[in-house]
Amino acid sequence: MTFEGKYYNGQSSKGMPAQIALLADGLRIDYCADEVTGSVHWELAGIHRSEFNDATTLLRYGKFPQQSISVVDKRFKEALQQQYRGAAFLKSGYNNVLSLGLSGIAFIALSLLGLLVSFLIWGVPALADRVAMHFPQSYERTLGKQLYTKMLQGYQVDEEKTAALNAYLSELETDLDYPITAAVVKSDEVNAFAIPGGYVVVYEGILDNMEQHEELAALMGHELAHIQNRHSLRAMTRSLSYYMLASVLFGDVSGVAAVLVDNASALRNLEYSRSLELEADREGMELLRRNELNPQGVILLMERLQMGSESEMLAFLSTHPNTGERMKVLNELIGEEKQPYKKNQELERHWERLRED
């Protein structure tokens, strides 16, 4: 049984008139065009699954560049189904979907929608987190400088206390991969936060609520741990991941950095996960031990802030959740290793400068 159709050899877009014969082991295609004649044999295993409509059948064959045939005759589809019953290329995906009925199609649609929603809720932030972990350090430092400059706009920097804080930090053995730049801003707000690339902003309000310099060392150790482990960068990219995704989708790759810088104010109230906070606590504790300072400094700081009645203290603690659990873990760490500590006159001298009005 033969049918008329068109044959495409995969090298030219021009179809050639052809006679297609259905044989036991496949199709024989005899074609003729511009006095060029030829014949090809398609084995059943090499014919690719195609879709059919009521009148036209399209079949492909082989690897790239693929050959193909087109037959406008609904009897051809019927003949294929009778001759090659059960053949893989006759199992149309489109028809399989239709065979599921409305309930089956609705289930597939809802499943796809669920996958899309899941990707938007969990996948996009997780992807942004992975991207942040692979930022080149030089790029992170440049981005951090822009964020730092942006954040200080609108604040009055206390130059003397800033100098004292940086001198204090220079005396600490931090083991940080970044050069440290810190600023003290004039504000009663009880706050301090880390900026990617080695930058820290400390408010006078939190300094005024400390009584011992070990509390400052604990605070700085915690914030520097956020920088070292890129917690701040990761938290920002996760919280702004949808804006960043839009920048990438619209081809504005440079807009990723712009989104972060334009939202620099988000650094003031970044919230970290329980695991990231505990990681920063442990590394902050390690900074105290490395410098032979009283490890109780971190407990004193948390207790002082926790006992404070002012609303801004509670606001600070709200961005650092699970305070009670964290104190329990830190007390356990302190109890595991009893380490002697000593006074550090240089640190205390810089601390006194910070405490001056």
In three-state form (DSSP H/G/I as H, E/B as E, the rest C), the secondary structure along 183-203 is EEECCCCCCEEEECCCEEEEE
pLDDT of residue 203: 93
pLDDT of residue 313: 42
Question: Could you give the percent of the chain with pLDDT greater than 70?
Answer: 78
pLDDT of residue 357: 67
Confidence of residue 318 (pLDDT cuts 50, 70, 90): very low
**At residue 55, does pLDDT exceed 50?**
yes
pLDDT of residue 94: 52
Average pLDDT on 75-102 reads: 75
Rounded-to-integer distance, Cα 357 and Cα 355, Å: 6
Residue type, 5: G
Confidence of residue 309 (pLDDT cuts 50, 70, 90): very low
pLDDT of residue 311: 41
> Which position has the higher pLDDT, 101 or 223?
223
Q: DSSP assignment, residue 122?
A: I
Q: Which helix (H) or strand (E) holds 17?
A: strand 16-23
- The four Cα atoms 50, 54, 56, 57 give a dihedral, to 10 degrees, of 30
Query: Which tokens sit at 282?
Result: 């442990």
* CA separation, residue 105 to residues 49, 54, 95, 99, 111 (Å): 21, 21, 12, 9, 10
Rounded-to-integer distance, Cα 50 and Cα 44, Å: 13
pLDDT of residue 99: 57
Query: Which tokens sit at 158?
Result: 């206390």
pLDDT of residue 254: 54
pLDDT of residue 166: 95
Confidence of residue 312 (pLDDT cuts 50, 70, 90): very low
**At residue 96, does pLDDT exceed 90?**
no
- List, for residues 30-44, the tens digit of each pLDDT value: 998 877 889 999 999
Rounded-to-integer distance, Cα 277 and Cα 322, Å: 9
> Which position has the higher pLDDT, 221 or 301?
221
**At residue 274, does pLDDT exceed 60?**
yes
At residue 231, the 3 state secondary structure works out as helix
